[in-house]
Structure 1
Amino acid sequence: MISELQKLGAGLTGFGVFFLVFGVLLYFDTVLLAFGNILFLAGLALIIGLNRTFSFFFQWHKLRGSSFFIGGALLVLLRWPVIGILCEIYGFINLFRGFFPVVFGFLASLGNIPLLTKLYLNLARSESPME
């Protein structure tokens, strides 16, 4: 069951990603990137709640990814968009590393997409503790 607040959060997150991509396509437009960052973080907070968002970003093993992600957002706000986005991408990959196999598995289950299926199988093999 998804509440109305979570639906609003999903919309804000989607618009945040849209503005981030659009800001990069328009040669790292600082205003669009900053607006996308704010919408993405606000949407994430609405989807999972403020306490869970805070605890997600400030777990000990995710502190490096969080610092790069938040530091990159601050660099974008201080009008260093290229360096800021690069820091955010690095932080995003570190923060959401555990979700990538789930997302690729879901995309691979939608259909027999050769590249995604092969990528999912490689990720699943590299993540298994038996090796």
Structure 2
Amino acid sequence: MDRKWKIAIGLGVTLTGTAFALSFQHTVTGAIAEFVFPSGTGPGLVQIQQITLKPGDSTGWHHHDGPSWVILERGRGVFEYESCQPTVTHVQAGNAFAEPANNVHKVDNYGPGEATIWWATVYPQGSTPIVPEPEPICAP
């Protein structure tokens, strides 16, 4: 079975029943011979995706094993980063930002309308572009 299909099936099985309700319209992946990741230098993959979130959709909590770059093409989104005092960033069409590796976060679309996101990441060969995480639990 092709590696892309294994990753897609694995993500589908892992994310079934969660809030991970988004639509991947376009995905392009290419190999990179060497990249410096937090885990060390080695071969990796570069992936660019167009993602659409409908009102009420969420990516669910997750992280990426490499750095990511995000552009919100259309709509609005709320990016929340894991911590006991969460950092919430509201973005709208035309906003862009970089995201460091291993930063646990989620993206929600509270509407109105769909949000279209272009997302690029570099991740280590043998890993997946999206690593699901449990909802953060903070001590009282």
In the superposition, the TM-score normalised over structure 1's length comes to 0.26
Greater Rg over alpha carbons, structure: 1
Higher strand share: 2
Bigger relative contact order, structure 1 or 2 (CA pairs below 8 A, ≥6 apart): 2
Higher helix share: 1
